[in-house]
Amino acid sequence: MEQQTGQACIICGQVKEEGIVIVSHFICEECEAEMIRTEAEDAKYRFFIGRMKKIGLQKNA
């Protein structure tokens, strides 16, 4: 039985090894790169914004 060492990306939902963690939420390298390249006028921009809303800062932190 294999043990998964990756994390699920909050953008694509896939389990990946490499990426960044923002306030305990993981974003894989591929999604991070795509977000950086996406223009604000692109339809996918709103998709990324919606997914990023999952990252909430703790109140009274």
Q: What dihedral do alpha carbons 50, 26, 42, 39 form, nearest 10°? A: 130
Range of the domain at 16: 7-57
In a domain, 34, yes or no: yes
pTM of the full predicted structure?
0.78
Write down the pLDDT at residue 59: 46
In tens, the pLDDT along 2-41 reads 555 799 999 999 999 999 999 889 999 999 999 999 999 9
CA dihedral sign of residues 26, 16, 18, 28: negative
The verdict on residue 41 lying in a domain is yes
CB 7 within 8 A of CB 16: yes
Q: Is residue 35 part of a domain?
A: yes
Three-state secondary structure call for residue 5:
coil
Residue 1 inside a domain? The answer is no
Number of domains composing the chain: 1
Residue 57's pLDDT band, with cuts at 50, 70 and 90, is low
Q: Is the pLDDT of residue 48 over 90?
A: yes
Whether 32 is covered by a domain: the verdict is yes
Q: What is the pLDDT of residue 54?
A: 80
